[in-house]
Amino acid sequence: MTSQTKVAGVILAGGRAQRMNFENKALMYYQGEPLIAYSFSAMRPLVDELFINTNIDDALYQTWGVGVIADATADFTGPLAGILAAMNAVCADTLMVVPCDAPFISTAHLEKLLLEHQLTHAEITVACCGEQVHSVFMVVNTALKASLEHYLVNGERKVRRWFVGHQTHYVDFGENARGFENINTLDELHTIL
């Protein structure tokens, strides 16, 4: 990150967690830490300001010492709604996005994503491993806020479809796919090592 480029970060923790019995997935423990702690630790060294996007009682996140923002609507419209909420809250030209349920993500992964974004001058930079796109691990220009708002107002929800209308750069992490593995079920929470 250069001194001229301000980068904000958002951890997406606004989903319903249906496959986790509607529990607050971000605060469920994995190997002794809340799931969100892994995303928090990986992102914190790279951003000037950090937010958590959640649609539940934000008091649960006050101890993290960062801004807590909710979607503009309460109907759980998906990750793009959380990204738009973050774009409306930050004071940065660049937003780094990470989900709350990725315990293997590292600062090195995110630093590579950010560096590629800066070098290519893309509007959106997204992680992938071969053909598999990890669409909620991204760096995006906040100047796309109006585009994203328009997309959502028109009833669109698919993250990858939104990418199509913009200069999107995919960073292939190849065999380092583990960093982008997320936990979606209670079974995975207790069995993935």
Beta strands in the chain (DSSP E): 7-13, 29-30, 33-34, 49-54, 67-69, 94-99, 124-129, 132-141, 168-172
Residue 22 lies in a domain: yes
Distance CA 129, CA 155 (A): 29
Q: Percentage of residues in the chain with pLDDT exceeding 90?
A: 65
Which of 15-29, 83-97, 102-116, 133-147 is predicted with the least confidence, judged by mean pLDDT? 15-29
pLDDT at 30: 87
Position 33 pLDDT exceeds 90: yes
Q: Is 190 or 80 the better-scoring residue by pLDDT?
A: 80
pTM over 0.85: yes
pLDDT in tens, 106-162: 999 999 999 999 999 999 999 999 999 999 999 999 999 999 999 999 999 899 999
Q: Specify if 170 maps to a domain.
A: yes
Is 63 contained in some domain?
yes
The pLDDT of residue 24 is 75
Residue 86, in any domain of the structure? yes
Tell me the average pLDDT across 14-19.
54
- Is residue 2 assigned to a domain? no
Q: What's the chain's average pLDDT? A: 87
The verdict on residue 1 lying in a domain is no
- Whichever domain contains 107, its CATH number is 3.90.550.10
User: Does residue 179 lie within any of the structural domains?
Assistant: yes
pLDDT at res. 19:
47
Domain assignment present for 187: yes
Range of the domain at 11: 7-191
pLDDT at position 63, please? 85
Residue 176 confidence (pLDDT): 73
Q: How many domains does the chain have?
A: 1
Q: Mapped to the 3 state alphabet, what secondary structure does 83-134 carry?
A: HHHHHHHCCCCEEEEEECCCCCCCHHHHHHHHHHHHHHCCCEEEEEECCEEE
